[in-house]
Amino acid sequence: MAQRILIIDDDTDICLLLRRFLSKNGYDVAIAHDGTSGLGTLETFTPDLVLTDFRLGDMDGATILLKIKEKLPHVPVLIITGYSDIKIAINVMKQGAYDYITKPLFPDEILLTIKKALSQPVHYVHIAESAASSVESPTKTKKEKKGDYIFGEGPESMHLYKQVDLVAPTNYSVLIYGESGSGKEAIALEIHKRSKRASGPFVAMDCGAISKDLAASELFGHEKGAFTGALNQKIGHFEMADGGTLFLDEVGNLPYDIQVSLLRVVQERKVRRLGGNKEMAVDVRLIVASNERLIEAARKGKFREDLYYRFNEFSIDVPPIRERKEDLLNFAQFFLEKTNEELGKNVKGFSQEVMKAFQQYPWPGNLREMRNVIRRATLLSESDIIEISTLPFELINHNRLLFDESQLTNSSAPMQEQPRYQTPVQPVVSVPNKQSLPTKIDLKSTALDAEYEIILTVLKQVKFNKTKAAEVLGIDRKTLYNKMKQINLNN
C-alpha cells in the first residue's frame, strides 16, 4: 500500500506539480488549498506525512501544526517557507515540525526529506505534554499505559521506574544502557516528560542510522553552500532541542572526529553550524543510549573517555524481557490493546499455548519484537483469542537449529541447502544428575555460555558469513553483532 501524503498550499500550481511529482514516485497524494480544508481532509484521508506552506490564507504554520498534531501526533509535518521566515520556521520546529523546506522548491530535495521523515521515525520532535501532566504519582504512572511503552510492576520494572523518577527532575546528563528494542528512547522520553523541561522540545537522533558525512550536519546544522549538496541553511539537532532534551541513540556509533566536536559543544553549550562563523548558545539536556558499555569502547580506543564521563552523570540499565518474565502478560496485553485500537478489532487475549510460547521465548528483539509479533498475530486472528497458529515460525521453534544434527559434530562439513521451513532437529541437551547440582547457579552466565556455543557453531557452519548466520539464528544482523560483542566473539 502506497504511503499517503497531504499537501496544504494556497498556490494551486505548486500543489499540482508536487502531486504529479510525488505520485510518479509511488505516493498517494491529496491536496488542500487552505488550512481549514486541509484539516477537513484529515477526516477522510489519514496521511503518513503532511507537507504544508507556512503562510496560508486562513491560518499560519504554527496554528495548523498544532491542530494536525492534536489529531495525528506521530505524523511528521514538513513546513514550506520563504528564506525570510527561517527564524519563525525554527520556532515551529521546536513545537513539533519534522523539518522545513525553503523556496524555491527543488523536487529532489523535497523527495529526500520526505523519504528521510518516513523511513527514520526516530528523527522527530515530540510535542511535550504540559508540565502539570508530567507530575504524577509513581503508583499511578507504573500502572498506566503511556505512549508506546509500559513499565510493568515486577521487581526489575519497579527498580527501573524508581531510577527514572529520581533523575527526571534534575538536569543531569543520563546514559541509558539496554539491548536493541528494550525501550531506551521511550525511557528517555519519560525522563523528559517528568522533568522541568517538559514544555520544551524532545529531539531524538539515531546515531547508528546516520552516515559519517552527515553526522556533523545533523548534530550542528549547516549554512547554505557549506558543502556539496547544501542547497539551503539547515539547523541541527542541538538548536532544535534548545530549551528541551536531546536524545542520542546508539551514541557509540558516532565517528571519532565527530566525538571531538561533540565534546566541545557539551562542555561549552555553544554550537556553530558547518560553514558558519557565529556560535550560538544552546540550553540542552543530554540523554544518550547505547547497547554496549561505553567505558569498554573507550578502553579499546573507539570512544573518547572524556566524552563518556561527560555523559555518565547518571546511568540506567534497561533490563531485557527475558529478565522481566513476571511482566510478560502485562506487556503482551498492552500491545494487544494498542493494536486493537489501530486495527479496529476486539481481540481479548491469548490462549494458554501462546502464553507458554511467550514465556519460553528469549525475545532477542525485546519489546519492539513483541509489539511486531502481536501486531501480526492480531491481524491474522479470526477469533477473539490469539492462537498459536498466528505466531511466526521462529518464535515457536526458537530452540531448534535449521541444519541437520550431523553438521553439529563436523564443523568442516559444508552447509546443505534445505527448504526454508524444514522441520529442524532438536539438539540434545545433557541434564546433570540432581545429586551433582551445585548449591548456586549463575543463570545469566550460563545462558551467555549457551548462547556463545550456539552462535559460534552457526558461524562455523556458514564460514562466518554473518548475514547467513543471522538468518539461521532468526535475528537481524545488528542484533547478531551486538550479541557477538556481548560475548566477546569478535571474529
Domain boundaries, the chain: 4-119, 131-319, 322-396, 405-486
Domain 131-319 in CATH: superfamily? P-loop containing nucleotide triphosphate hydrolases (3.40.50.300)
pLDDT (average), residues 203-228: 82
Domains 4-119 and 131-319 share a fold: yes
Look at residue 413 and give its three-state secondary structure.
coil
Confidence of residue 181 (pLDDT cuts 50, 70, 90): confident
In order of 139, 183, 314, 318, 339, the CA distances from 151 in angstroms are 11, 10, 19, 10, 18
- Report the share of the chain in percent with pLDDT over 90: 25
pLDDT (average), residues 195-199: 90
Q: Is domain 322-396 annotated with CATH 1.10.8.60?
A: yes
pLDDT (average), residues 258-282: 89
pLDDT (average), residues 340-350: 90
- Strand bridging mode 234-235 / 221-222: antiparallel
What was the pLDDT predicted at 176?
95
Confidence of residue 117 (pLDDT cuts 50, 70, 90): confident
Which of 19-23, 101-105, 133-137, 320-324 has the lowest average pLDDT?
133-137
Q: Is the pTM of this model over 0.85?
A: no
Residues 322 and 143: their CA atoms lie apart, in Å, by 20
How do residues 399-425 score in pLDDT, each as one tens digit?
553 333 334 444 444 444 333 333 333
pLDDT (average), residues 373-393: 91
Higher-pLDDT residue of 430 and 63 is 63
- Give CATH for domain 4-119: 3.40.50.2300
Sequence letter at residue 374: I
Residues 184 and 426: their CA atoms lie apart, in Å, by 35
Confidence of residue 432 (pLDDT cuts 50, 70, 90): very low
- Asked whether the CA dihedral 166, 170, 172, 173 is positive or negative, the reply is positive
What was the pLDDT predicted at 225?
79
Higher-pLDDT residue of 4 and 433 is 4
